[in-house]
Amino acid sequence: MSNTFHNFIGGSWVPARSGTSIVNRNPATGEALGEFPESDAADVDAAIAAARSAQRAWRLTPAPKRAELLFRLAALIAARKEELAHAATREMGKILIETRGDVQEGVDMAYLAAGEGRRMYGVTTPSEMPDKWAMSVRMPVGVVGVITAWNFPFAVPTWKIFPALVAGNTVVFKPSELAPETGTNLARLVEQAGVPPGVFNLVHGHGAGSGAALVQHPGVDLISFTGSNAVGTWIAEECARRGKRVSLEMGGKNAVIVMADADLGLAADALAWSAFGTTGQRCTAASRAIVHESVHDALLTLVVQRAKALRIGDGLDPATEMGPVVSEQQLDRVHGYVTVGAAEGARVAAGGGRALDGALAHGSFYQPTVLAGVRPDMRVAQEEIFGPVLSFLRVNSLDEAIEVNNRVGFGLSSSIFTTDVNAAFRAMRDLDTGIVYVNHGTTGAETHLPFGGNRGTGNGHREAGHTMLDPFTEWRSIYVDFSGRLQRAQIDNS
């Protein structure tokens, strides 16, 4: 195969030391897009050695100078936005307007993170002793291992890598094996921007190989991970054993609440976009519609109409409104949940199977699916499906809607449609999720606000926004005593 790609280690493009490779395929057509290194512990060890070697000089580079490279990188990304979007659509399937947005988030994140180079604020505070200065500053953690999923192959890595770099850390990045070309494209841009060798390193491979080696390596100080709860929990356990820091973003089971006074047309549009945009493969995708009984049937009819009308196809076709599921394995998982839901008593109101018409037979396409008659205790109402499946649940009050929303193991995003300002404010207070929308779907987070959630969604850290540096920095408290004598805090001032 002519399209052969390499790892990026210590400023050089190198193959896997084992010589083995992974074939990257287009989920819409099955076409082979290229071969990528099937890296193992030896490749990871080389990347970490390069990162550790470069860390001291990078840490001592003034933060505004580190930021200048990110400003340069933002301009480079913006100039190649269309090319990057096409590459992402080819390898993971979502439609071009979405991959353009994916790349734009990278541009936004580069500018936002670069701004922190001149405002990496600490705190100064009066000392309780005379002739003594007290302050706190942020310090880099060291070597950061970044492991990300395939659904936002450009944006999500930048949420982690750019704040880590501007804070003075060095990075080893393992992208998903289902979206490796976008990871390579990001590495090429980092190289072109002039980031010094070893500061940023790219290692391809499967999670069980290079991913596990990165998590378990003693030379990595922090793992930042986006992916499933099962893998994230394993990473947390491994990091705890080794005393290293960990930042986790692990998905959601998000719901849109629709009250009796809602604009049903707007709610239906938002549900269709939140549930079927990115083929339902967003951690913020709407998986549940929690609807007041007085408008339940009317809204169900509207959403079913929208689901059946969606144009399914290759994401590169401008007429396509929903692309394929990322892989055959994921397609089987999605269909398995629909089968389970039906067995538990749910009614398939739309979709419910593979989309096989014409060219669709060559890809991993699934019909936009709506399940009616879902109860809160069903698996389809509790577990993350990560596909184009929306479950309708009926409630008779706002209190019940909030209780049903919160009765899941995740807490990422939630939404309420209502014209009652009192109901909206109660929902903003009581919905137990890291993100809450009013009169909007569950997707659409902006980079300048913190992103993350509660319970099984994460471990307390937030990405992006004004909290972006928190996972990647340690606080150092500094005291300068210029009194010329020994002063004993809490003793001499009692």
Would you please indicate which residues are annotated as catalytic (active-site) residues? 249, 283
How crowded is the C-beta side of 296, counted as CA atoms within 13 Å?
A: 19
Residue 135, token pair as written in the block: 């302050």
Radius of gyration of the chain (CA): 24
145 Cβ contact partners less than 8 Å away, ≥ 6 residues apart? 171, 172, 174, 214, 215, 217, 220, 222, 223, 224
Residue 378, token pair as written in the block: 């069903």
Residue 117, token pair as written in the block: 């180079």
Helix and strand element counts for the chain (H, E):
13, 21
| Rounded Cα distance, 342 and 346, in Å | 5
Residue 458, token pair as written in the block: 């994460």
| Rounded Cα distance, 173 and 191, in Å | 14
Chain-centroid distance of CA 405 in Å reads 21
10 Å Cβ neighbour count for 211? 24
Q: Are strands 7-9 and 12-14 parallel, antiparallel or unpaired?
A: antiparallel
- Asked if 55 and 142 count as a contact pair (C-beta separation under 8 A), the reply is yes
